[in-house]
Structure 1
């Protein structure tokens, strides 16, 4: 009997632990869970939820059900954020990995490091960019081309063409991340600020593009629209924000109590900068064997340990010119390129 009761107790305790963990996971803000899920899941796993690429909340399910194109847009935003991050940071000490120095316990989302702040800004920026582009391309059916009308200085009239609706992208991104219910403590304020910095980085790239129409090349009529450049433009701005991120003093990280208006005013002095709360661990351990771009970059990336220089052969276009290794009529030739790797 004693053994049976012990087994029953153990089963009950395990079930209670599982339920408790589910409650804790479910109690985390949607904003935090969504960003972490999109950037962490590097696989092509498809969930049964309406949004497919993440376990969606009721609000997110409603948004995805309302516009079937949202599933594809989320996938575009997810892949765009990850690939652009890995490309931009491939020669940096942190190369968009999810853990520091290959230590699983040092997950990038356990605290709010500089890199964590950047990921929140990057993912939110990618979402707003993908949604704005989806409106113009027609993949999202609940929005359309951004239209505006106006007159120019030479009394020629212009009509709006098919533009990228950034305002719609910004609004849906905030709704999708459940921005209003992200919390009122310092952690929530920090994450929300980083999300807004990311979204506004996309908005700063919005430009008016015009096309002239008229007889014999004249510009009697203009068609104008707002267009966002490729996401790499916003990525360049966000990387600058990453290097100039501001470290804030932790007020109540462990208690998660709502902070007073006086403290919040002090925290919000600079709303245009990325904000982080914890210092990044020393990343020099993780750079061993990493490729580096050139000697100047290697000195920083390799943390003073030095680097190995190799040569590798690559194919290049000859352009029908006489080169050291090519004949006049060849298409490609092999040439050696210097390659550096950290010791």
Structure 2
């Protein structure tokens, strides 16, 4: 795919960056904080081009154990990277960076003139982005010699990520009229911010469904009592329960929570009690020095005071 469509490499890289960044953003306060292997960083502390270019196709090089563990975390990684690729390719299409796709022109003549609005502008067309994401990400699992449950799980969660982008499409409008009146509106469809898509997928992660490790044509719930309840395409699914991520396990690539900063007053996942797994926490005082109460002095410089503040920082034992 990369050889056939080299002009899409920048979109693949951006899709990987979006997925990784949003994964880390959504899990930054949790025991599993979407940790990625340190070897993929360059000296400038940014994700290297070569890694990002292949990140979506071989995410194992970034996430290690998590991509093959079959856990809820695996499900989220699949969904968010698939969504990231749709988002970046579609954005590139709308920007006119590619000859194979552009804006969604099917809407142009529609609307409701009687209600004072019509379709116009440049609507994001997901069709090409969805197609490329399926072609690029699903092939390794579809072509797998053994049709195992992990491949079926990846395929399902990849599609759930893509559907999240489609589901959260919004309608934006611009007013036209004399003196700023809104006599006529031109409207177009656009994708939601990736942060909103990430938040939606995080909610799906929280409510993900455990599936049976025995395939019978399609994925099905592990709990026999609930098998009559259908699994929706937008649901995230997993096969194995997650480890607690409390203790470091180098073999599995789990970094543990030792040394992580926690919030002593929070009852949420970032609270010292939950994040530190009951081991307790250390407290140390950090001194902050910054410029403050700055004033402009005629002429021509700014005079500031030097302010100091002390903050308690709590880290897990």
- TM-score (normalizing by structure 2): 0.72
Among 121, 127, 150, which residue is 2:79 paired with?
121
Measure the CA separation in 2 of the matches of 1:155 and 1:334: 59
Query: Alpha-carbon deviation of 1:121?
Result: 0.6
Query: Alpha-carbon deviation of 1:261?
Result: 6.6
- Tell me, yes or no, if the aligned pair for 1:309 and 1:340 is still in contact at 8 Å: yes
What is the correspondence of 1:1-343 to structure 2 with a 5 Å cutoff? 51=2, 61-62=3-4, 64-65=5-6, 68=7, 70-97=8-35, 107-147=65-105, 148-149=107-108, 150-152=110-112, 154-178=114-138, 181=142, 185-251=148-214, 259-260=216-217, 266=227, 269-271=230-232, 272-285=234-247, 286-296=256-266, 297-314=271-288, 318=292, 330=304, 333-343=307-317
Query: Alpha-carbon deviation of 1:206?
Result: 1.0
Change over 3 Å in CA distance of 1:314–1:234 after alignment to 2: farther
Measure the CA separation in 1 of the matches of 2:228 and 2:153: 9
Instruction: Give the gaps of 5 or more residues in structure 2.
Output: 38-60, 222-226, 248-255, 296-301
Q: How many residues align?
A: 264
Which is helix-richer, 1 or 2?
1
Query: Alpha-carbon deviation of 1:277?
Result: 0.7
Instruction: Give the gaps of 5 or more residues in structure 1.
Output: 1-49, 52-60, 253-258, 322-327
Cα RMSD for the two superposed structures? 3.2
Measure the CA separation in 1 of the matches of 2:180 and 2:170: 24
- Tell me, yes or no, if the aligned pair for 1:201 and 1:234 is still in contact at 8 Å: yes
Measure the CA separation in 2 of the matches of 1:316 and 1:268: 58
Change over 3 Å in CA distance of 1:127–1:155 after alignment to 2: same
Give the secondary-structure state (helix, strand or coil) at the position aligned to 1:162.
coil
Deviations 1:211-264, CA, capped at 9 Å, x for gaps: 011222222332211122321111111111112111122115xxxxxx347969
Give the secondary-structure state (helix, strand or coil) at the position aligned to 1:287.
coil
Measure the CA separation in 2 of the matches of 1:267 and 1:317: 63
Change over 3 Å in CA distance of 1:333–1:135 after alignment to 2: farther
